[in-house]
Amino acid sequence: MLGRLTTSLAPRLSPRLGACRAFSAGTDLFNPTEEHVQLRDMLRSFVEAEVEPQATEYNRAEKFNMPLFKKLGDLGLLGITVPEEYGGSGMDAVAAVIAHEELSSSDPAFCLSYLAHSMLFVNNLAQNGNEAQLQKYLPDVCSGACIGGMGMSEPGVGTDVLSMKTTAAKSADGSHYVLNGAKMWITNGAVSDTELGDRFLIYARTEGETGSPSGVSLFLVEKGFEGFKLGQKIMDKCGMRASMTAELVFEDVVVPAENLVGGEGGAVMCMMRNLEIERLVLAAMSLGIARRSLLVMSEYAQERVAFGHPLAHFGQMQRHISESYAEYMAGRSYVYNVAANLKLDSAGNRVDSDGVKLFCGDMGKRVADRAMQVLGGNGYVGEYNVERLWRDAKLLEIGGGTNESHHKNITRDLGKNPEQLRRL
């Protein structure tokens, strides 16, 4: 199962990223099995050797590092939750969380592209597609030969996703659908200034009234389909600059009927199932940002001297460091507990998949902000990386569901099921 994941271990990490430690398999919430231990060790080595050296350069250039991304395929990471018979590594939600925490501790933007590919396309298809679709599409996206993404938001539709305007009209003979509309804010929508990503799962309305869940269907759309075009590539983002964001445009795009994923009008369940793992790994990205920020501020506070003492001598700095550690560990425990109990083929876990993202999204930004404060002027420039982490962290309060949508979802679901609170 983990053969490819452990074939190439880079040297141990430098103190700035944190040294690998000997994990105790079977007794650790964060590394419950030996395979999880090996996965984390491999990722920490890969992050130091491959991800960290390129992070600042690609973020400043607003470029996607395609060669590095394809190396994730060589390591078995692009299909981390996909069964081995389709080219994946057959691992679980905990493994997905480990991958996102470790990658985002160095380069959250690169990790965001990984998330859009491995979770929003690959895992989504693996859980919802039929056998023919899995055999046709999964091997190439698991290897990295093709780059995938998912289209749900639209230029005028964000959180209110069921108000989507993109339509898919079925042909008279039933052989195909004709897609018209646009999708916005699509990670991996572009891989360069002019080139689309390769494979997409696109949500579109096939029947029913706008706002009704019964009218939403899911389609596999490929680069090269006539009428499928790259709209605007979104530039000058606050953060996540090395992850490409774009608009996708559909003008009478003919999509074969066999590219319908699940039943017609049944895509909301696919959407809800995949949103749960998406929000869980977005929370894991916040963990990576917080852990790196905490490490930087703690080391800096020990090294930097002011008024004859290290900064760590002063109560104001102690508060920043200690509260950041406690909040990070609280969030980390919550995330890994939810991951341990999440079945990838299930739905109905929204309270806690929203809960971990709501808590950790805010926590990661707050810890990065404290790191900037501890470093002062040095935190405000790029050398120590925390200003980049701080900018990247903000997206995690917006993307994959805004904080406000999580407030609504959690309150609504607890109101429908008060027994959930009584059982705590």
Of 227, 137, 149, the C-alpha closest to 191 is 149
Three-state DSSP class for 170?
A: strand
Q: Using CA atoms, how far apart are residues 325 and 59, in angstroms rounded to an integer? A: 27
Closest listed residue to residue 168, CA positions, set 214, 130, 198, 202: 202
Rounded to an integer, what distance in angstroms lies between the CA atom of residue 350 and that of residue 355? Answer: 8
Is residue 242 classed as helix, strand or coil in its secondary structure?
Answer: coil
Residue 249 has φ and ψ, to the nearest 5°, of: -120, 135
Known catalytic residue at 278:
yes
> Is 394 in contact with 367 (CB distance < 8 Å)?
no
Quote the Cα angle for 364-123-353, to 5°: 40
How many beta carbons lie within 10 A of that of residue 229, not counting itself?
Answer: 15
* Cα gap 283→235, rounded to integer Å: 25
Cα gap 331→358, rounded to integer Å: 10
Catalytic residue among 35, 101, 278, 387: 278
Neighbours of 407 (CB within 10 A): 12
Catalytically annotated residues: 278
